Amino acid sequence: MQKRVILAGGSGFLGQSLAAYLTQRGYDVVILTRGGSRDGQPIRYVQWDGEHLGEWAREIEGSHAVVNFTGKSVNCIYTRKNREEIMRSRLQSVKVLTDAILACENPPQAFVQAGSLAIFGDTRALCDEESPHGTGFSVEVCQRWEEAFFERELPLTRKVLLRIGFALGKNGGALEPLMKLAKYNLGGTVGSGRQYISWLHLDDLNEMLLWAIEKEKMSGIYNATGPNPVTNKEFMRTLRKVMNKGWAPPAPSPVVWLGAYLVMRTEPSLALTGRNCVPKRLLESGFTFRYPDLEEALRDLIPHASSAEMPR
Ligand SMILES: NC(=O)c1ccc[n+]([C@@H]2O[C@H](COP(=O)([O-])OP(=O)(O)OC[C@H]3O[C@@H](n4cnc5c(N)ncnc54)[C@H](OP(=O)(O)O)[C@@H]3O)[C@@H](O)[C@H]2O)c1
């Protein structure tokens, strides 16, 4: 029989990618969404509200694993309302999924939670899983999110929380706006350029998530990022190289502030801060990266960039 994996909040960037990865490997994938239920093939969508128990909880009974991607996107201006929703959507979804698992006669063997490396704040110090946390709103969200996830024991269910880095993929995510900037010769260094980007290729993240679902020895918190974080300056230089773009003017911090608020309608700190993280526990458990090198990762994701962007 096919193993059923439930992806809560699986309609987004990471969830859609994992759904495809799992179905290719023979899993039965069910996505919990606030959108309508629909019986797509091969993926089924089941409606929930991310806050209350309902019919959807039947899907958890007898499932192989639950992976939770739910959360209002942090890519917005941090008004009070948005901050509340960023926090609430994460804490409530963890709580109600825990309730649903506790109510099962035949609970899933694994509960995997998407967390974030933002817990380390804005730092250039090398961070592994044991490093001190930072300060500020994003850090507080991550801490409360992790506390909520580990708060209640699930006797028959292994818990894994992946603190995910800057995931690079083809359709969406944080790479898309950077590619747009580079396309219009605006892909220069952002701010000081010394803030780190702890990046990873989506294929590597999907494999980590598969490990978290399947490997009995995996438990607790992991930094889910590549082994070679780079500074923003290096990231932008490599992106320009892969897109066959020459030098581009740097965007000093005040310009980034204005551009973020007025044009991109998002929080400037997302581009101006960063962290230098390593996947210590994953490497210790023998995980190997398909894309440890940034240039190779970008060449895989932007395959026709060089020829399409050649000057005529
Ligand atoms: N992408 C990255 O590089 C990255 C890095 C670090 C951490 N993460 C974390 O990983 C998780 C998934 O990331 P993603 O990039 O896939 O995010 P995403 O594309 O924004 O998808 C998140 C999903 O959560 C659901 N959602 C949004 N607001 C909600 C709300 N108020 N209440 C309930 N559900 C809500 C949405 O599903 P429906 O509309 O279908 O309900 C949405 O598709 C997020 O928690 C994110 O913070 C992502």
Tell me the per-residue pLDDT of 46-73, one tens digit each, with 9 for 90 and over.
999 999 999 999 999 999 999 999 999 9
**CB contact set of 28 (below 8 Å; sequence gap of 6+):** 2, 3, 4, 5, 42, 44
Interval 220-233 mean pLDDT: 98
CA atoms of 232 and 196, how far apart (whole Å): 6
What is residue 307's DSSP assignment?
A: H
Query: Are 49 and 27 contacting, i.e. CB atoms less than 8 angstroms apart?
Result: no
Query: Are 191 and 253 contacting, i.e. CB atoms less than 8 angstroms apart?
Result: yes
Interval 11-29 mean pLDDT: 98
Ligand 1 centre and the CA of 47: distance in Å? 16
pLDDT for 311: 40
Please choose, from the candidates 74, 120, 135, the residue with its C-alpha nearest in 3D space to the C-alpha of residue 276: 120
Ligand 1 centre and the CA of 311: distance in Å? 37
Interval 82-106 mean pLDDT: 98
How many C-beta atoms surround the C-beta of residue 109 within 10 A?
Answer: 16
CA atoms of 134 and 132, how far apart (whole Å): 7
Q: Could you tell me how far CA 9 lies from the centroid of its own chain?
A: 12
pLDDT for 23: 98
Please report, for residues 5, 15, 53, 107, the alpha-carbon distance to residue 59 in angstroms, rounded to integers and kept in the order given.
Answer: 9, 17, 12, 10
Angle at 287 between CA 282 and CA 288, to 5 degrees: 130
> Is 17's C-beta closer than 6 angstroms to any atom of ligand 1?
no
> Is 15's C-beta closer than 6 angstroms to any atom of ligand 1?
yes
pLDDT for 305: 56
pLDDT for 308: 44
Ligand 1 centre and the CA of 9: distance in Å? 6
The H or E element that residue 239 is part of is: helix 232-242
Interval 153-167 mean pLDDT: 98
Q: Above pLDDT 90, what percent of the chain?
A: 89
Class (C level, CATH) for 4-172+198-226+275-290: alpha beta
Please choose, from the candidates 93, 128, 129, 87, the residue with its C-alpha nearest in 3D space to the C-alpha of residue 111: 93
Please report, for residues 96, 115, 251, 311, the alpha-carbon distance to residue 245 in angstroms, rounded to integers and kept in the order given.
Answer: 48, 34, 16, 9
Return the CA Rg of the chain.
20
Place of tokens 């005529």: 312
Please choose, from the candidates 100, 68, 76, the residue with its C-alpha nearest in 3D space to the C-alpha of residue 209: 68
Interval 138-161 mean pLDDT: 98
Interval 153-177 mean pLDDT: 96
Q: Could you tell me how far CA 17 lies from the centroid of its own chain?
A: 11
Ligand 1 centre and the CA of 14: distance in Å? 8
User: Beta strand pairing status for 196-197 and 230-231?
Assistant: antiparallel
Q: Which of 69, 96, 143, 163 to mutate to test the pocket of ligand 1 (most atoms within 8 A of CB)?
A: 69
| Domain edges within the chain | 4-172+198-226+275-290
β-partners of residue 224 are: 164
The H or E element that residue 297 is part of is: helix 294-301
The H or E element that residue 112 is part of is: strand 110-116
Query: Are 208 and 163 contacting, i.e. CB atoms less than 8 angstroms apart?
Result: no
